[in-house]
Structure 1
Amino acid sequence: MGTVTPFPLPDRTPLQIGFERLELTRILDLYGRMVAAGHWRDYAIQLGHEAAVFAAFRRSAERPEYRIEKRPALRNRQGMWALVGEHGMVLKRGHELSPVLAPVERRLLKIVEA
């Protein structure tokens, strides 16, 4: 007879990691409020094989002030969401997006004197 060649199984790793619509809506809502408050002026989105990154800039010629990273490979360990500061230090990590964005949203709160 002939030689049986096994059928190749599909690779489970996606070609590109991206943000879901609700996640991107939440991030862009925060970005819009930070722009309105005068903190941020520009943003960039990078979609890759290992992570999707949203970077927010004070000025477009600088390093990003914050990076919001989604790494699904870390979903079962530390959490797939990370908030990375300007110097590359991870400021917050978690399984849900809202708690990870909390330190940035705190900057929008202002003390109002009576």
Structure 2
Amino acid sequence: MTVQEPTPLHFSAALPQQVAFDRAELSTILSLYGRMVAAGEWRDYAMSFLRDCAVFAVFRHTAETPLYRIEKHPRLRNRQGMYALIGMTGQVLKRGHDLPGVLSPLERKLIRSV
């Protein structure tokens, strides 16, 4: 009599194929975006949903590099926080666990521009 080895379980279906912003996160980001557009600061945006991160980039003009990128890296959830605000030069301006806290430098900029 032969003993059958248990078949290995594959949890590939449980792992997301891409990272995305959920409805609440997107609502927070688009609320800020709408206010910045109304203030004349921003004009266009782009979203990228990759395997390891989601990116929301804002532009002053369509044909240039993004002014800011708001990134979500779920693998950094237990370390520095999964949200990051990145400037035009690639410099991390703020990183944290909650999205409104990470977007606070942009909120302050909005108060000054209005």
Normalised by the length of structure 1, the TM-score is: 0.91
**2 CA distance for matches of 1:94 and 1:85?**
15
- What are the superposed Cα offsets for residues 43-95 of structure 1, whole Å, 9 maximum, x if unpaired? 00000000000000000111000000000000000000000000100000000
Runs (5+) with no aligned partner, structure 1:
none
Q: Tell me, yes or no, if structure 1 residue 6 matches structure 2 residue 7.
A: yes
Cα-Cα RMSD: 1.7
Which of 68, 86, 89 aligns to 1:87? It is 89
Number of residue-to-residue matches in the alignment? 112
**2 CA distance for matches of 1:2 and 1:61?**
64
Which of 54, 58, 61 aligns to 1:59? It is 61
SS in 2 for 1:24: helix
Aligned runs of 1:29-68 on 2, under 5 Å? 29-68=31-70
Contact between 2:74 and 2:82, CA under 8 Å: does it hold in 1? yes
Q: Which residue of 2 aligns with 1:17?
A: 19
Task: List 4+ stretches of structure 1 deviating above 6 A.
Answer: none
Which amino acid in the other structure matches residue 100 of structure 1? V
Greater relative contact order, per chain length (Cα 8 Å cut-off, separation 6+): 2
Q: Which residue of 2 aligns with 1:110?
A: 112
Aligned runs of 1:62-81 on 2, under 5 Å? 62-81=64-83
Identity of aligned residues (%): 55
Contact between 2:55 and 2:72, CA under 8 Å: does it hold in 1? yes
Which amino acid in the other structure matches residue 58 of structure 1? R
Normalised by the length of structure 2, the TM-score is: 0.91
Deviation (angstroms), 1:107: 1.0
- Relative to structure 1, the CA distance from residue 37 to residue 46 in structure 2 (aligned partners, 3 Å threshold; closer, same or farther) is same
